[in-house]
Structure 1
Amino acid sequence: MKVDKFNQENGNREKLLDNPWKTLSIAPVFDSPWINVTKHEIVNPAGNDGEYSVVHFKNIAIGILPLDDEFNTWIVGQFRYPINKYSWEIPEGGGKLSISPLESAKRELLEETGIVAKKWTQIQEMHLSNSVSDEYAVIFIAQQLSFEEAQPEETEQLQVKKIPFDELFQMVMNGEITDSMSVAAVLKTKILIDSATL
């Protein structure tokens, strides 16, 4: 009986992994160099007709948490137009789909902070808002650092600040930092530091 129950429960789990949505049609709504929006006529999991709008991103989101030998890190401050707020974050940017995430990460770190790293560790992959978009992110830790001149883009007015990693962790824990990639990167890095993996 226990084996039968296990098999039944396992079968139910497998069914949950199947796509319960049916797509009837897809129509373009908006297109820009960075995103496009499509309207999907669908049948939802309850069997009812409906409409779903999806935002497709034309690049990969990249996040980098640089760490020196004393476990200091660098954060970037900038005004984020969509949320109308100033935001402190790990160095971040967008990478072309045709370029590896690592190459994009190296470019972003140099552009925003002037930092060059010899050691790179990919620590996280994320979908940043999977109820409305397919935006995909890759996060790295950068170590063995050297320093050059920062090369920010013309649309970026950035402040760069060096702080102890423990201070950054506290900024996440007390809600000063709300950027999702930064929060995920800091929490994952904290686990790696505490487990002596880094």
Structure 2
Amino acid sequence: MQNPEENPWAITSQQNIYDNPWINVTEYQVINPSGNPGIYGKVHFKNRAIGVVTLDADMNTYLVGQYRFPIDEYSWELPEGGGPLGIEPIEGAKRELLEETGLIAHEWTEIQRMHLSNSVSDELCFLFLARNLEQHEAEPEETEQLQVRKLPFKDVYEMVCNGQITDSMTVAAVLRVQLMILEGKI
């Protein structure tokens, strides 16, 4: 019997289906774990996903609102975006925070690493807590039409709990920070 933690999939061929500066889609012909032929599609992300929970001295945080094209809905979420693979995730987090909110943080903690949708993609996410904040001018990208809201963290936690916030990175990061608060780590 094969070790259950070893790869049970065999690739017989692969074809590049789509490629742009952000993603690559590959279709694989495979022999699946039951030994039968099959097909699998994979979305490869060319950036890391980065998200930042901010906490000021009064336990307020910042949310960014924007219309999300893929889901055809307006979304309130943490400052987040893509960090190039060639730079440290913390540098991408600093850039995203300044770009979207105008904030510079002088205290950073990595709080979580996770895969966002490991059934179809390899997108890896890094979540950070940013504290000791200083306000500067935001520098949004030309594709971003953003609103920024400063709210008590407890209100954002409630928004996650009642389903007003559905962005997976925001949900995971807010729940992680709430746990850190309950454990006395913040």
TM range, smaller chain: over 0.9
2:31 to 14, 37, 43: 43
Show the counterpart of 1:126: 114
The count of residues paired between Structure 1 and Structure 2 equals 186
Question: For residue 126 of structure 2, what is the aligned residue in structure 1?
Answer: 138
Aligned to 1:57: 45
**% identity of equivalent residues:** 56
Q: Distance in 2 between matches of 1:136 and 1:108?
A: 16
Distance in structure 2 (CA, Å) of the matches to 1:155 and 1:30: 22
- The amino acid across from 1:156 in the alignment is E
The equivalent of 1:5 in structure 2 is none
Q: Which runs of 4+ in 1 moved over 6 A?
A: none
**What residue number does 1:102 align with?**
90
* Bigger Rg over Cα: 1
After superposition, give the CA deviation of every residue in 1:39-72 in whole Å (9 maximum; x if it has no partner).
Answer: 1110001110001011000000000001011110
Give the whole-Å Cα distance in 1 for the aligned partners of 2:5 and 2:135.
Answer: 47
Match of residue 170, structure 1, among 153, 158, 168: 158
Question: Which runs of 5 or more structure 1 residues have no equivalent in the other structure?
Answer: 1-11
Determine the structure 1 residue equivalent to 2:3.
15
Counterparts of 1:16 and 1:187, CA distance in 2: 31
Specify the code of the residue in structure 2 equivalent to 1:148. Answer: H
Look up the SS of the partner of 1:15 in the other structure. Answer: coil
Deviations 1:92-135 (A, max 9, x none): 01010001000010000000000000100000001101111101
- The C-alpha deviation readout for 1:163-194, integer Å capped at 9, x for no partner, is 00000000000000000000000000000011
What's the secondary structure of 1:17's corresponding residue? coil
Q: Distance in 2 between matches of 1:70 and 1:190?
A: 15
Q: Are 2:178 and 1:190 equivalent residues in the alignment?
A: yes
Structure 2 residue identity aligned to 1:104: G
What does residue 144 of structure 2 align with?
156
Secondary structure of 2:171's counterpart equals: helix
How far apart are 1:195 and its partner, in Å? 1.1
Q: Which residue of 2 aligns with 1:9?
A: none
Q: CA RMSD in A?
A: 1.0
Classify the secondary structure of the residue corresponding to 2:4: helix
List alignment gaps of at least 5 residues for structure 2: none
TM-score (norm 2): 0.98
For 2:68 and 2:112, locate their aligned partners in 1 and report how far apart those are by CA, in whole Å: 23
2: CA distance, partners of 1:96 / 1:44: 32
Residue 23 of structure 1 deviates from its aligned partner by: 1.0
